[in-house]
Chains A and B, each alone.
Chain A
């Protein structure tokens, strides 16, 4: 009987737990929304300054569209694998959770590697952040997103280690949900960077 009770306690969430979970999720959601406002101010800066190239090259000549499409698809797939990780967590499949977190991590790392390669190419060709107002705004906007991705990658690592060590406890399951919200949000911000910075840049607007 006591055995039965303890398994029930660890596997099923009480209504108190659910209320706590939804409060924590809501708090995190509010943080995500304020982060959106941060990105909005960077987008506004970019929109105002993107024609101020100070005689230098514009985005139309600078951006490598194949690279950008690859980045977008990598991030999109990592968002999907992150979702699969959440489903695995709900099915209490610890190994699958770690596997999907690892897949998400590798896809995110590949995205970051492509982005840093792009930055390095731009910098080596004399298009660093001090070249023009356009490039300052570009590096600030895309770099801030890249910084969020880096933080997300560190979080994925620590999350995977915690699930590996302690299993899918209530705290870990809760943290995993927050991580997935954060990661999906980064993908959503990237849609707008992809459209406004790269696609509209390629059109010369």
Chain B
């Protein structure tokens, strides 16, 4: 019996209640974001902020209820790798958008062609 209980705590898998609550929460968050966009009740910028927040909340909900991340025992290696991944993802995404918008802002298409021609390339 003691062996049984040890097994159920270490194979960090969820219960039916966890899966059901994760499913219901995810459906609710998806429908909320969808209605907000289709109905257009608030301004575009606010809508974007809200739907991105809802996406992040749904990410956390599924991580917790479906992938059982909160139930990991110490040392929490999975969590460490996840945080490292999120760091890399944010650097790639925000960095790319930042750099490319900056290039866009500083260069007209004409300048771009001249620059590329001077480099010996160009379109």
**Cβ of A44 < 8 Å from any Cβ of B?**
yes
**Cβ of A45 < 8 Å from any Cβ of B?**
yes
Contact A195 B44 (CB under 8 A): no
B76: shortest Cβ distance to chain A, in Å?
Answer: 11
Number of interface residues of A (CB under 8 A): 49
User: Which residue of B26, B47, B51, B93 is within 8 Å of A44 (Cβ)?
Assistant: B93
B65: shortest Cβ distance to chain A, in Å?
Answer: 9
Please give me the residue from chain B that is nearest to A203 by CB atom: B44
In the bound assembly, the distance between CA atoms of A184 and B92 in angstroms comes to: 23
Contact A29 B7 (CB under 8 A): no
**Cβ of A116 < 8 Å from any Cβ of B?**
no
Tell me the dominant secondary structure on chain B's binding face.
helix
Contact A83 B66 (CB under 8 A): yes
Tell me the dominant secondary structure on chain A's binding face.
helix
* Interchain residue pairs A-B with the least CB separation, the first 7: A44-B96, A40-B89, A195-B55, A33-B85, A83-B19, A80-B23, A48-B100
The chain B residues found within 8 Å of chain A, CB to CB, are 3-4, 7, 10-11, 13-16, 19, 22-23, 26-27, 30, 33-34, 37-38, 44, 47-48, 51-52, 54-55, 58-59, 62-63, 66-67, 77-78, 81-82, 84-85, 88-89, 92-93, 95-97, 100
The chain A residues found within 8 Å of chain B, CB to CB, are 12-13, 18, 21-22, 26, 29-30, 33-34, 36-37, 40-41, 43-45, 47-48, 65, 69, 72-73, 76-77, 79-80, 83-84, 86-87, 90, 177, 181, 184-185, 187-188, 191-192, 194-196, 199-200, 202-205
